[in-house]
């Protein structure tokens, strides 16, 4: 028995939701095959598209799978084939795609003993191996789809957030690698009361805007005075890309996850594509290679 999966990319943070909000992108992702084996344990048998470790305990998917299997009493095992499309260190949840994909696949092969929310902690263990922190804002949306709020990590409290029909994401990935652990190391450990108040206002505004289909409110709320000023310095042309996206009609935008990808949200496919052209032009002029995607949410 085997299953072939699509493992979606994700945008974490969405500006005002550092570590607590993420979004699933269903047009960008990896593929994976998970196969039941007579032998016990987890084996990674094939990796295409990336130079990743085959040792189960050093591989994000391997660790997530082992964590899941360790709570079950199984007299069989699984082998995993990983076909990576999402580049490591791109800021669109490469490790999360592997970690969430494998636990989803095993769950399907077992006849779905776990809910999607139950699978999140297993996937988080894989994420922890890759980034040094067990954040859920990529793995939870990869498993649940759409926008997902992580109200709390401990105990885990995950809420799927509705979003309007015409919302599109544009994501541009300048072809440099930025490790999440490095992008986390530039952050300050303390914020001021003023910054906390602004962030709460924006996050509340964004969630409210998503539910009420208030596109202007969504746009006004996509602000980040805490993380973006520190991380944007690591991303070539960040200010120009964001400015051009807004000028082309995006509602708002910012750093995708820990970067270097930059995202923008737009109302309607046509605008999202115009935004993609405007963002691309900045990197064309800088002679910088990039990948760009438009995805319906
Ligand atoms: N919330 C995490 C961070 C996401 O920004 O570090 C990493 O993809």
The 10s digit of each residue's pLDDT in 121-135 is 999 999 999 887 788
**Which of 182-186, 197-201, 244-248 is the least confident region?**
182-186
Average pLDDT for 187-212: 97
Average pLDDT of the chain to the nearest whole number: 96
Contacts (Cβ under 8 Å, ≥6 apart) of 152: none
Cα 153 to ligand 1 centroid, rounded to whole Å: 14
Confidence of residue 189 (pLDDT cuts 50, 70, 90): very high
Instruction: Tell me the C-alpha distance between 281 and 5, whole Å.
Output: 34
Structure tokens belonging to residue 178: 């930025």
Task: State CA 159 to chain mean position distance.
Answer: 16
Confidence of residue 24 (pLDDT cuts 50, 70, 90): very high
Predicted pLDDT of residue 134: 82
**Ligand 1 site: residues with CB under 6 angstroms?**
12-13, 18-19, 93, 135, 137-138, 180, 183-184, 257-258
Q: For residue range 239-257, what is the model confidence (pLDDT) as tens digits? A: 999 999 999 999 999 999 9
Predicted pLDDT of residue 185: 92
Annotated catalytic residue, options 127, 170, 228, 271: 127
Q: For residue range 132-173, what is the model confidence (pLDDT) as tens digits? A: 778 899 999 999 999 999 999 989 999 999 999 999 999 999
Residue ID of nearest Cα to ligand 1 atom 6: 258
Q: Which atom of ligand 1 is nearest to the CA of 96?
A: 8
pTM of the full predicted structure? 0.95
Q: For residue range 81-121, what is the model confidence (pLDDT) as tens digits? A: 999 999 999 999 999 999 999 999 999 999 999 999 999 99
Report which of residues 180 and 224 the model is more confident about.
224
* Cα angle: 139, vertex 108, 168; to 5 degrees: 40
Predicted pLDDT of residue 181: 86
Average pLDDT for 37-42: 96
Predicted confidence (pLDDT) at residue 50 exceeds the cutoff of 90? yes
Cα 3 to ligand 1 centroid, rounded to whole Å: 29
Annotated catalytic residue, options 10, 67, 170, 180: 180
Q: Read off the DSSP letter of residue 58.
A: G
Q: Read off the DSSP letter of residue 140.
A: H
Predicted pLDDT of residue 26: 85
Predicted pLDDT of residue 132: 79
Predicted pLDDT of residue 133: 78
Active site residue 180: yes
Average pLDDT for 175-189: 92
For residue 269, the number of C-alpha atoms closer than 13 Å in the C-beta half-sphere is: 3
Specify whether the CB–CB gap between 232 and 131 falls below 8 A.
Answer: no
Predicted pLDDT of residue 135: 87
Q: Which atom of ligand 1 is nearest to the CA of 227?
A: 5
Predicted confidence (pLDDT) at residue 21 exceeds the cutoff of 90? yes
Predicted confidence (pLDDT) at residue 16 exceeds the cutoff of 90? yes
Predicted pLDDT of residue 130: 87
H-type alpha helices, the chain: 60-70, 94-109, 116-131, 139-144, 180-185, 193-212, 215-221, 228-231, 238-247, 269-285
């Amino acid at each position: 028995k085997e299953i072939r999966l699509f493992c979606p990319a994700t945008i974490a943070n969405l500006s005002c939701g550092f570590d607590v909000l993420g979004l699933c992108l269903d047009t960008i992702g990896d593929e994976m095959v998970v196969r039941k084996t007579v032998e016990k344990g987890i084996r990674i048998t094939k990796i295409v598209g990336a130079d990743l470790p085959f040792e189960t305990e050093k591989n994000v998917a391997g660790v997530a799978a082992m964590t899941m299997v360790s709570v079950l009493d199984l007299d069989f095992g699984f082998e995993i084939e990983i076909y990576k499309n999402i580049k490591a260190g791109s800021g669109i949840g490469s490790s999360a795609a592997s970690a969430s994909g494998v636990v989803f696949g095993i769950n399907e092969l077992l006849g779905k003993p776990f809910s999607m929310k139950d699978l999140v902690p297993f996937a988080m263990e894989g994420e922890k191996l890759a980034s040094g922190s067990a954040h859920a804002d990529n793995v939870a949306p990869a498993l649940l789809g759409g926008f997902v709020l992580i109200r709390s990590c401990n105990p885990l409290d995950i809420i799927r957030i509705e979003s309007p029909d015409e919302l599109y994401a544009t994501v541009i990935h300048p072809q440099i690698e930025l490790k999440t652990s490095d992008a986390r190391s530039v952050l300050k450990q303390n914020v001021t009361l003023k910054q906390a108040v602004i962030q709460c206002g924006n996050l509340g505004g964004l969630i409210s805007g998503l539910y009420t289909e208030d596109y202007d409110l969504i746009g006004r709320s996509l602000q980040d005075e805490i993380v973006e000023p520190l991380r944007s310095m690591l991303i070539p042309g960040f200010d120009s890309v964001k400015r051009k996206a807004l000028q082309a009609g995006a509602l708002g935008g910012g750093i995708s996850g820990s970067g270097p990808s930059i995202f923008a949200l737009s109302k309607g496919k046509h605008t999202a594509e115009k935004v993609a052209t405007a963002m691309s032009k900045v990197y064309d002029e800088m002679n910088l290679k990039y990948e760009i995607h438009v995805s319906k949410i």
